[in-house]
Chains A and B, each alone.
Chain A
Amino acid sequence: MKITTLPLDSFNSLEVGARRYFVLQNGAKPVIAPSECPHRGGPLNLGRRAACAAKLVCPWHDNAYPIHSIERGALPAIRRGDQISFVTANEDIRVWTEMLPVNQRDSACEDA
């Protein structure tokens, strides 16, 4: 296995082997979540928040996923201060050094 440690403000997207991930805020906790929607592979990183930020809605077919269920597929990670360490298999890791588009605006709670 491989451990990678990065400053949290240096990236928001990465690729491990053939899988893309993005940094998803779950409250104060950063989660390195899979970008691919489990339905048809839509870009979850461009999804909008719903249910008072408890869910993420895929922009392709409007499927809404609880953040805690997305986290079950996330990379195992530890944030310590402003750094995050994550564990991967011994695959190639590509980190985008520029911030890629993400859509994490919170929706109003009324749509819960």
Chain B
Amino acid sequence: MSSVGTLLDHPSHTDPALHKQAFSGFASHSLFDQPQSFYCDSPYVRPVRPQDLNQLDFGHVLTQAELDQPSHLMGQRLLLNIYEQDLVFLPQQGKLALAEFNAFYDEDLRRAGAAIRPELERHVFGWLDEAVSISGNWDVDAFKAYADEVLDKIARTPSSLVEHIGQSRDPANAARFFLIQCAGDFLSEASAMARNVLGNFGPAQSELFKILIDEYGYGVPQKKHSVIFESLLAQCGLNSGVHYYWQFYTATSLALTNYFHYVSANHRHFFRYLGALFYTEASLALVTRAQAEAMRIAFGDTVGTLYFDEHAHIDVHHGKMAFEQLIRPVVAHYGKQVLPDIIRGFEEFRLLQDVADAELFAHIAWHDQLADWQPQPVPPQPAGAPSHTFHECRDDLSVTHVHGATELFVVDKGTLKLVCSPFTQLELGAGQHVVIPRGMLHGSVITAEHCSYTVTSLEHAA
């Protein structure tokens, strides 16, 4: 292995002190540190909870079963910040804070991000190597047959999104939470794709460029997919600022955006990118119909579904273009050797989408449970269970996070607001409690002069 490869694959070979410094320097940057609010008014303010850094280990590869762990959420947040330093963001609402702009794109911060990126990518995406493998004698027609089967199944299966939103206690807020999960990607839609259109790779390059042109609205702002999505957010009563709801993205929603950056930032993964692109374009042509239906269930006729209708139409073309004009010619030109990575990208993104859907639905179900919350006697706690008591003052804000185990959250003194989504918040007073399941996103803000609360693991006895 080359020395560069050794460094990237075995980051521990770098000076551990320098590596730790890069992690701390990036995560603790003022833009990513403690915010004043749960909502981010600036596209450069993206809190990651650097105070948790010492408790988290990014040196190992997460398994699929560990995607609900805190290091996954923090790893994905850090990665999106790193990837998006390559993109241009200027606030569309409000003024430009030039100091924040300069700080976000600062050279030292970029260098620190570049140093920690390989370890983070391995930590959050390494599990895909175990989860998916491609073998045997593939040709492009066998792949097409497989892809058609997968897509037919999606077309034939009733939409889980429609079901979960329709059955929610509060379909409108469930739909809003779904839209928030989309916002991290859709408000800068196809930015990762743009990483792949430069260079020189012949006619396929022009085909990819045509898809990009569609995504970016042919130079007409109102036709840009991200602008259409902004309009949808506004109609649904949501803020359309880039990453305004940063703290409410689930880890697996972030993973969908980050995966495209991951396979696009390093062009060694270009063929995986093509496979993932094909899956997302072809499947979106099918699922966006259901997404439009979910909007109608949630909001009736008060909300336009142009964003989803546009994709239901144009992604039929994009799916065909991605396969017939990109993948088929690329395989014809460069041989079957590139097919395993193309198929891998297709299958990996499919799996990531399934995992993200499951996490979204679990959150909607938990929010529904919390809507029924009533004060109850505090249940007995497991003997020897690890527990931590926190003492905080008015307006102290705990940035949203997840716990690696189901925990009992008890307010001992004072009052606080437990914030699980922009629409699911509990006011808790002394003696009141809530059980926070493992992997569920939540934060808190203190609403009394002083407040103490105790968090006890319900899974691990000491």
In the bound complex, residues from chain B placing their C-beta under 8 Å from that of A73 are 137
In A1-17, the 8 Å CB interface with B consists of 1-3
- Tell me if A75 is interfacial: C-beta within 8 Å of chain B: yes
Main secondary structure of the interface of B (DSSP, over half): helix
User: How many B residues touch the partner, as a band?
Assistant: 20 to 34
In the bound complex, residues from chain A placing their C-beta under 8 Å from that of B141 are 1
Nearest B residue to A4, CB-CB? B149
The docked-state distance in angstroms from the alpha carbon of A74 to that of B133 is 14
Interchain CB contact under 8 A, B137 and A30: no
In the bound complex, residues from chain B placing their C-beta under 8 Å from that of A85 are 146
- Tell me if A80 is interfacial: C-beta within 8 Å of chain B: yes
Interchain CB contact under 8 A, A80 and B347: yes
- Tell me if A29 is interfacial: C-beta within 8 Å of chain B: yes
Interchain CB contact under 8 A, B130 and A71: no
Find B132's partner among A2, A31, A75, A79 (CB 8 Å cutoff).
A79
Q: In the complex, what's the smallest C-beta–C-beta distance from A49 to chain B, in angstroms? A: 17
Nearest B residue to A1, CB-CB? B145
- Tell me if B136 is interfacial: C-beta within 8 Å of chain A: yes
Q: In the complex, what's the smallest C-beta–C-beta distance from B279 to chain A, in angstroms? A: 12
Find A28's partner among B130, B137, B145 (CB 8 Å cutoff).
B130
- Tell me if B155 is interfacial: C-beta within 8 Å of chain A: no
Interchain CB contact under 8 A, A78 and B146: yes
A38-79 vs B, Cβ < 8 Å mask (1 yes, 0 no): 000000000000000000000000000000000111111111
- Tell me if B102 is interfacial: C-beta within 8 Å of chain A: no
- A77-B135, A87-B142 known; 12 new pairs, CB 8 Å cut-off, are A1-B141, A28-B130, A32-B136, A76-B146, A78-B134, A78-B135, A78-B146, A79-B132, A79-B134, A80-B132, A80-B347, A80-B351
Which B residues are closer than 8 A to A by beta carbons?
64, 130-139, 141-143, 145-146, 149, 343, 347, 351
A-B contact pairs, 29 of them (CB 8 A): A26-B135, A28-B133, A29-B134, A29-B135, A30-B135, A31-B135, A32-B135, A71-B136, A72-B137, A74-B137, A75-B136, A76-B135, A76-B136, A76-B137, A76-B139, A76-B146, A78-B132, A78-B134, A78-B146, A78-B343, A78-B347, A79-B133, A79-B134, A79-B135, A80-B132, A80-B351, A81-B131, A86-B136, A87-B146
